[in-house]
């Protein structure tokens, strides 16, 4: 990884290739950019440069004076998009990286494609829909549980339940070193999950994301993931909702062929807009 000193702090990033076509990959909560290697290899072509930055608090990335994790991640995303290219950049975001990519895309006219895999955007849910309310409330309760576990000094049960719900693997099956790292980061992860779930999106923001978008979810992912993808796609002015069969929430790392194929297709044939559900 390369460490870059910026005006707002340090950013560590994985980088592949050289060229004018920039592809930025934004990772999920608790994941980091390291799992993007296989996806980047499949996307690499002559003339393409791929950048996968570690978001704030991951690797060596630290945004000076950051108080809100989402704002800090957004600063990193904007830096990555400004790191080169010919004005036809591609922006991909997974989960927490999805809300970060969505926010980074607002007001830009220099993106060729926006691809979001299961973006965690609670603000896209409909307050008047009972299922939306139920799914959102259950997730927020799980997040509060992580914070409560941190406060009492024993977060493993709550953090393990969260990881199992989203990461397609039982907590007990994770490598001991990975469990230790996640538990050591439990306090930061509690704040980060709370900030992501609580992020407000102004009503007027959605119309500013004019880049042709693909919003993806796997059919093996948690129900909330599918509902969030549906709601995000419905609020964007030019988006296509796409279900990927046989895949779960960690598809960008576990099924890079499927994700790369969607990104390539989005570049080759921009999607048609869907009717807004807002």
- Tens of pLDDT, residue by residue over 97-121, are 999 999 999 999 889 999 999 999 9
Q: Decide if pLDDT at 24 tops 80.
A: yes
- Tens of pLDDT, residue by residue over 128-174, are 999 999 999 999 999 999 999 999 999 999 999 999 999 878 999 99
The CATH classification number of 2-124+203-268 equals 3.40.50.1820
pLDDT of 269 reads: 62
pLDDT of 28 reads: 95
Query: Judging by DSSP bridges, how do beta strands 2-6 and 62-63 pair with one another?
Result: unpaired
pLDDT of 168 reads: 79
The structure's pTM equals 0.93
Q: Are 23 and 49 in contact (CB under 8 A)?
A: yes
Per domain, the residue ranges of the chain are: 2-124+203-268, 130-197
Q: Decide if pLDDT at 270 tops 60.
A: no
Mean pLDDT (whole number) for 193-209: 95
pLDDT of 167 reads: 86
Q: Decide if pLDDT at 278 tops 80.
A: no
For residue 81, CA distances in Å to 127, 165, 167, 177, 262 come to 33, 31, 28, 33, 20
């Amino acid at each position: 990884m390369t460490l870059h000193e910026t005006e707002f702090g340090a950013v560590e990033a994985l980088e592949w290739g050289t060229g004018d076509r920039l592809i930025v990959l934004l990772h999920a909560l608790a994941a980091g950019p390291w799992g993007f290697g296989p996806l980047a290899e499949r996307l690499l072509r002559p003339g393409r440069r791929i950048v996968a930055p570690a978001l704030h608090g991951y690797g060596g990335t630290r945004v000076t004076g950051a108080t809100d994790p989402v704002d800090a991640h957004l600063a990193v995303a904007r830096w990555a998009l400004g790191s080169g290219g010919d004005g036809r950049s591609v922006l991909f975001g997974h989960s927490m990286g999805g809300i970060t990519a969505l926010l980074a895309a607002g007001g830009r006219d220099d993106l060729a494609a926006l691809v979001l895999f299961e973006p965690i955007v609670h603000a896209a849910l409909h307050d008047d829909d009972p299922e939306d309310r139920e799914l959102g409330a259950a997730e927020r309760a799980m997040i509060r549980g992580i914070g409560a576990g941190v406060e009492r000094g024993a977060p493993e049960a709550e953090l393990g339940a969260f990881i199992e719900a989203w990461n397609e693997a039982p907590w007990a099956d994770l490598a001991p070193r990975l469990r230790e790292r996640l538990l050591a980061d439990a306090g930061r992860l509690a704040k980060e999950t709370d900030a992501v779930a609580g992020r407000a999106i102004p009503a007027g923001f959605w119309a500013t994301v004019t880049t042709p978008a693909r919003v993806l979810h796997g059919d093996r992912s948690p129900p909330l993931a599918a509902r969030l993808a549906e709601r995000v796609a419905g609020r964007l002015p030019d988006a296509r909702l796409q279900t990927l069969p046989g895949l779960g929430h960690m598809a960008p790392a576990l099924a890079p062929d499927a994700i790369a194929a969607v990104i390539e297709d989005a570049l080759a044939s921009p999607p048609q807009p869907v009717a807004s559900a807002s």
